[in-house]
Structure 1
Amino acid sequence: MIDPTLSPAEYDAIADAAAHWCMRLHADDCTLQERLAFEQWLDAHPLHVSEYEAMLEIWEVSGDVPRPEVVVPMMQAKSRTPWRTFGIAAAVCAMALPLAAFSGWNLGWLPNSYQHFETTDNVRQVTLKDGSLVELNLGSELTYSNYKDHRQVTLKKGEAFFSVNHDTRHPFIVKAAEGKIRVTGTQFNVWMYEDRVKVNLLEGSVLVSSNDDLPGDGLRLVPSMQASYGHGDFMPQISQTDANDTSLAWRSGKLVLDDLALNDALPLINRYLETPLMVADNSTGTIRIDGIYNIRELNSLVTSLPKVLPVYLTRNKNGNPVLNSIPQRTPKS
């Protein structure tokens, strides 16, 4: 958010205040009066929210500082000076953490570069600070942080295709849901839907772990293999990628449904819908669908399904569109 009425000095003062509140809200001796004062400061100007959110992002990716239990409204767009904010956040972390005499970078606590990317209704290609390329599907969000001993991407939602620059001494780690994917240089796709993650490998090799807290680096994939995992899985499920796999058609703006049961097709469709489509029962879920669709026009698919499938649409109490199978009439004898 840009406010032309504020001078550079006033912007810096807001950033300083955001850094101060980060430090105080993480402190054990933070009082109720201070928290109330923070809420008043937060409400005083919209830029206070965006600067404080920017500060929290840096603290969050460090992985060593707990996030405070403060509810902050999310802004649709954040305009800030990343290195100024990052520098202040690093200084605050140095004051707040033990061994303050050491830099967060040398200890591996803090990254020396940080990027945030988000897409809404367009596929987007971005270049990370290490030169790696990432294609983001619609409705996707990720962050990139460069640490002393590794490069880290956190896929917060959606889907991304990675072309990672090779660097055996500086591995590339993608965190998605509860697991992670570890690589040195390769091409692979990661899709996260609800609590499930699917990884498709095209080139090189990756190690996939279903839980970041488990020992070891996970199971190795080679090209034309895929892995999937979800909440509570001890190990990822490994399988061979079908020769006619179309899961990467999104990179060309397409969704290909190749004679799939609705139960299997809905997760592919719902990632592009604001309100998920549902089926009324298992018998409806077994109805099959095929076709090639524009991923930017999936909302129109919902209303057109009754024209091509033996179903009709209703809505549940939460407002979700629901597909119901049309009962088959028994012919009279």
Structure 2
Amino acid sequence: MTEHTLSEAEYDAITDAAAHWCMRLHAVDCTDAERQAFKQWHDADPLHAFEYEAMREIWEVADHLPRVEPAPAAPVSSVRPRSRWNRLAAAAAVLVVGLPLTAYTGWNLDWIANSYQRFEAGTSVRHVTLSDGSQVELNLGSELTFANYKNERRVTLEKGEAFFDVSHDQQHPFVVRAGQGQVRVTGTRFNVWMYQDQVRVTLVEGSVRVTSNQALTRNGLQLSPGMQASYKAGDHQPQVRETDPNDSSLAWRNGKLVLDNLALSDALPLINRYLDRPVMLADNSTGGLRVGGVYNIGEVHELVASLPKVLPVYLTQNKDGNPVLNSIGQRPVQ
């Protein structure tokens, strides 16, 4: 597990590189080797992708700002109009030379964060404190990033699950992006679970607004304590329900995974979140079988091997190496 808060020099170096790659990728003479080198740089760290996207947005906006051209000394009919690339290259040159000004402008326009943190949890639950004072518990195998913008505090849950105890700041909302949606609060306590494109938000205290599409923030639904919202890719709005007093969504904070007589189709996302190779279902009838029990989150991999002992199923393996649950009497899935 890692925690890395960048120094100002490190952050400036990444911003400098982002500006350089913006310029080169728009250049007509950009080579395949350069594009490959950019891809390696871009994929090497989430912050590289984050800063490149921020720089690209700044340049696109800068390209549409009005410009005052100096009057020519004498009319020259052979002069060609300035191309879009020339304007971008000029903007790039200004940005590369004036990175402090770029950072200042980007901060004031709410495009660039002034601090960035990344956290991972490995084989144990991890407690971290964000730079704004908010407390976060990360479940096993979870990853998130935190960026502080002028007008909001933003977390991106990249994988897994986290419980947030957000420090109150009415002027700077706290936004958690998960999947295609987001959660917006000013100060509260809530849990966010994510597996593939599925997201589930459970509110413990305060209030949150949940949207299933980051582009449609006005369509968010307000939650009260004891409510849970869930969504997946393509949902126009989250599905909201009241949680049971004995709801086990937060059992992971005590090191447990609780399966309360769930259909396998509902239980497997909860199980697979902890596995390197997700378990697959042979068919819908297998998914309808029900399973229950309390398991240690650090030993979920052992649960899969034990399922044939408690359910009428057997395990096979598909061509990708994933374990497959088959109902007894069903033809094995290859």
Shorter-chain TM-score tier: 0.7 to 0.9
Partner residue in 2 for 1:58: 51
Matched, 1:146 2:148: yes
CA 1:65–1:326: 2 relative to 1, 3 Å = farther
The structure-2 alpha-carbon separation of the partners of 1:149 and 1:49, relative to structure 1 and needing over 3 Å to count, comes to closer
Contact kept, 8 Å, 2:135 with 2:165, in 1: the verdict is: yes
Conservation of the 8 A alpha-carbon contact between 2:193 and 2:200: yes
> Is contact 1:180–1:211 with CA below 8 Å preserved after alignment?
yes
What percent identity do the matched residue pairs reach?
A: 55
Task: Report which stretch shifted further, 228-237 or 100-109.
Answer: 100-109
Please give the alpha-carbon distance, in whole angstroms, between the structure 2 residues aligned to 1:228 and 1:191. Answer: 9
> Which amino acid is the alignment partner of residue 150 of structure 1?
E
Q: Which has the higher contact order (CA 8 A, sep 6+)?
A: 2
Change (3 A) 1:101 1:94: farther
Conserved 8 A contact 2:261-2:292: yes
Aligned residues: 286
Listed as ranges, the gaps of 5+ residues in structure 1 are 1-11, 67-91, 329-333
Q: Structure 1 residues 32 and 188 mapped into 2: Cα distance closer, same or farther (>3 Å)?
A: same
Distance in 1 (CA, whole Å) between partners of 2:112 and 2:258 is: 41
**2:27 aligned to 26, 30, 39, which one?**
30
Contact 1:260 1:288 (C-alpha < 8 Å) held by counterparts: yes
| Candidates 171, 183, 192, aligned match of 1:169 | 171
Unaligned runs of 5+ in 2: 1-8, 60-91
Aligned to 1:242: 244
> What whole-Å deviation, never above 9, does each CA across 1:3-36 have from its counterpart, x for those lacking one?
xxxxxxxxx89x85x6554223212642455552
Distance of 1:300 and 1:42 partners within structure 2: 38
Over 3 Å counting, the alpha-carbon distance change for 1:300 and 1:23 in structure 2 is same
For 1:166 and 1:36, locate their aligned partners in 2 and report how far apart those are by CA, in whole Å.
Answer: 48
- Structure 1 segments (4+ residues) deviating >3 Å: 18-21, 31-35, 37-43, 48-66, 96-102
Superposed CA deviations along residues 184-208 of structure 1, whole A, max 9, x for unmatched, are: 1000001111111110000000001
Q: 2:153 & 2:93 partners in 1: Cα distance?
A: 20
Question: Does the CA-based 8 Å contact 1:105-1:147 persist in structure 2?
Answer: yes
Query: Please, what TM-score do these two structures have when normalized by structure 2?
Result: 0.76
CA shift digits 1:100-143 (9 cap, x unpaired): 59522122111111101112222111100010001111121111
1:144-178 per-residue CA deviation (whole Å, 9 max, x = no partner) reads 11111111111111111000011111110111111
Three-state SS of the structure 2 residue aligned to 1:143 is strand
Say which SS state the counterpart of residue 283 (structure 1) adopts.
helix
The alignment's TM-score, normalised by the length of structure 1, stands at 0.77
- Partners of 1:257 and 1:306 in 2: how far apart? 16
Residue 125 in structure 1 maps to residue 127 in structure 2: yes
Residue number among 308, 311, 317 corresponding to 2:310 in the alignment:
308
Whether 1:327 aligns to 2:324 is no
Alpha-carbon spacing, 1:95–1:241, altered in 2? closer, same or farther (3 Å): same
Report the CA distance shift for 1:280/1:108 in structure 2 as closer, same or farther (over 3 A): same
RMSD over aligned CA atoms reads 3.2
Does 1:201 find its partner at 2:198? Answer: no
Counterpart residue number, 1:3 = none
- Residue 270 (structure 2) pairs with residue 268 (structure 1): yes
For residue 187 of structure 2, give the secondary structure of its aligned residue in structure 1: coil
Choose 1 or 2 for highest CA Rg.
2
In structure 2, what is the equivalent of residue 105 of structure 1? 107
1:250 Cα deviation (Å)?
A: 0.7
Please point out which of 262, 283, 286 is paired with 1:284: 286
Q: Which amino acid aligns with 2:27?
A: C
